[in-house]
Structure 1
Amino acid sequence: MGFVLQRGRGCHQRSRVGHLPHRASGVTMVDAEPPFGAGRGRHLQSLRDLHEATMGERGRQVTVGEAEFEEHPQAAPVATTANEIGSAKIRAPLDLPPMQPSTHGLARVVAVTNQKGGVGKTTTVINLAASLAASGLRVLVVDLDAQGNCATGLGIDKARVELTTRDLLLNPERAPECRYATRIPTLHVVVGDRRLVSVEDAILSDLGRESRLSEGLAPLLPHYDLVLIDTPPNLGVLAINALCAADGVLVPVQTEYFALEGLAMLLSTVEQVRRRLNPSLGVDGVLLTMHAPTLLNQQVANLLREHLGDVVVEPPIRRNIRLAEATSRGEPIHIHAPKSNGGQDHLAVANALSSRWGLSRGPQA
């Protein structure tokens, strides 16, 4: 099955085999124009400031690929009330150079990541990708999480999927066949499933295992404006592959105190990946998720704004039952409940990020 994809137009489907509604068992891109340039990420010069402020002593080192990464220990006791928020002393504002436009003419690759689970990472990927694709941008979602919830949230029946992210990693030459269509013509998905669990063991002894995802994505990048990677909530080989393939990271964090711990761990990891594996990796933004109008939530949000500046993406994504409903129905929020708090917040975030990334089009209210 093939697709012809052109800027500002839909995908036109032609089939040699049985047709699956809203999806295709092997999407082949032809005659696609190069995407618009995308901005480079913001580089954190003092990442360890935040890390050392909220973490205890360094843990032992574990080897991931050709580089050594520190295994984080238990954090020191943290504040439990709004009045104690000030005890998280972030020593100085982080020095963040402005984003630079890219000249390579390929899709911008963004890893949506947080080593702490349950922060709305997959929900962010689904709804950000859908909002941007609905505006005409060409978006590819790559699901590196074995739960495979991106496919479910975008209406793809995983039982009918043959090639997954596992195939993309182990057989990069089959990358064009690993993409599946959604109900949004310019949004495609490389589906994750439980078979990803075995991938780390399969490539653990391979040289260059951190580059498997980069190799798989290489032939696809000219056909998209943006690639969003949903990462697993751990620091394993798959997560390192995502950071090595990415131009930048987008970090969803809950506006709760424990978010500071998870953010500190991630920024330390980003710094190590930049130093050893991917010097161009930047931080594109920190997105506040599951935000509630409580004093504690406001305190944490303001603390992050104070020390991260405009790296914090506005507005925060408010807690909203419509987001959970949309996922359970296999619909992005802009289709299920566009006027809900979740729908309006994701639309605003999509507009902010499309501008930040230098994409030529963005969702409109």
Structure 2
Amino acid sequence: MLGGYPPFSSRRNIHFFFSLFLLASLYCLVLLGVGGRLNFSSGRSSVSWNPGAIFFSSPVGNSSQVSERYKLDNVLRDAAMKDGTVILTTLNEAWAAPGSVIDLFLESFRIGDGTHRLLKHLVIVALDMKAFSRCISAHTHCFLLTTEGVDFSSEAYFMTSDYLKMMWRRIDFLRSVLEMGYNFVFTDADVMWFRDPFTQFFVDTDLQIACDNFLGDSEDIDNKPNGGFNYVRSNNRSIQFYKFWYSSRETFPGYHDQDVFNFIKYNPFITEIDLKIRFLDTQYFGGLCEPSKDLNRVCTMHVNCCFGLKSKLHDLRIILQDWKFYLSMPTTLKRSLIMSWSVPQNCSLDSLSQYGVPLNSTQ
């Protein structure tokens, strides 16, 4: 023993037990409610999160430092592009487990053509505490969005009460992001990003939205939109529209946000506020409802028109395999060969037809 200090191994044990004691103490404080509660309120919604729970995954910093880091305005500012655009997705516990949807989503960014750099602009909005903990262990920009009295952690099956609450919570949150002055690309986590979509977005358009069925004209109001992927610029027109969209849930009770969008896109209010809407071509922004037919053009691929997490996961993995095979091909062969997808598989045609999608649209 030198200088009265214990051997290195003993010191390491002391540090370990001290750290364990500290973590246990913090855990008790959280259980007793000492961690505190902060709220971000805007309009009709209250976006809240409990900073005390962040201790479990935060390696350094006191509670105030950790709380500041995960405030919505700080998260958005850190993630924003120069023009104030952020990429947003939502995540709950069911989609956050290792090997589940969020891992495949992030992998698509990493292996896509020019998409890896976009990860620094991605904000994952967690809808429950476990999803938030998973986010901060896997990604840089995370925000916890909770709804008092509602548990969004489980898989929300299509058109159930929890599903509808989750979809409308999302619309109200996106409205608050617009009011804070940020443009956003919203993307479901079951959308695979394979090319930079900004190269295919229209200029001077307030709202651009993907389609389940695209009719060939981006300005045709009869296109069938899909709310799982859209690009919205922050201005008075888009903010008014999101308020109108959210309030329309009361006019059309029992419908989800996508159906209500389909109803209100014909409303004279859209013309009154001069909202410019464009619909995105499925050859660049495809999905299982209507797959993009050429991997030389595809930007995103959405596992829409599919019931159940297991089916989605299976077909998502197939999509990633298809993309990796495409990447492995010689450049000259890529250009001369029109290659499409090996899906749907578990997302069967029967499932697609339940969405009212013509079966020949998946061919």
Normalising by structure 2, we get a TM-score of 0.27
Whichever structure has more helix as a proportion of its residues is 2
Q: Which has the higher contact order (CA 8 A, sep 6+)?
A: 1
Larger Cα-atom Rg: 2
